[in-house]
Amino acid sequence: MRRLFTIDLKDYGEDFKVFRRPSARAIIRRAGKLRLVYSPVEKYYKFPGGGIHDDEDRIEALIREVREEAGLAVIPESVREYGSALRRQNSDRDENTIFEQENYYYFCDVRDENIGQDLDGYEEKLGFTLQDVDIDEAIRVNDAYTSENSFNHHMIQRELRVLRMLKEEMYENT
């Protein structure tokens, strides 16, 4: 899969151990809009997706995460690679540890019915809801996002960069 970009804060020591948490994220389009997860608490949009478990491959994780976060069933044969974004930064949880996350983005189609979300506790607190949103609106909202939490800030900066890349490529193909 092609590497879209790398975000490396280099805010860690050379001798730090590395904690890797790869993730799979869905790019779902419907009627000219993107289907994104919105947090009304933090006021940002994110692509549905999340961490890949040790016993899963990327596509299995994508299907599970889209079902949990968005309440949608991915059509497995529709999954197509887009690219990956690597993020490296000092862990916000473990001392002397680098948090490294390769985020694998996939285009995919979903079935029409919503089968209901199965959110984690922190996702419920953030009020995750599925929204069909115009790409310009998602870019505007994420561009305005601020957080004192560096971890969250850089996560949304990653999503913002992917949104901008998608928009640029959409205009190239019209």
What span, in angstroms and rounded, lies between the C-alpha atoms of 130 and 138?
A: 13
Tens of pLDDT along the chain (174 residues) come to 999 999 999 999 999 999 999 999 999 999 999 999 999 999 999 999 999 999 999 999 999 999 999 999 999 999 999 999 999 999 988 999 999 999 999 999 999 999 999 999 999 999 999 999 999 999 999 999 999 888 899 999 999 999 999 999 986 664
Q: What is the set of domains in the chain, with CATH numbers? A: 3-172 (3.90.79.10)
The span from the CA of 144 to the CA of 148, in Å, is 13
Count Cβ atoms below 10 Å from residue 91 Cβ, excluding itself: 18
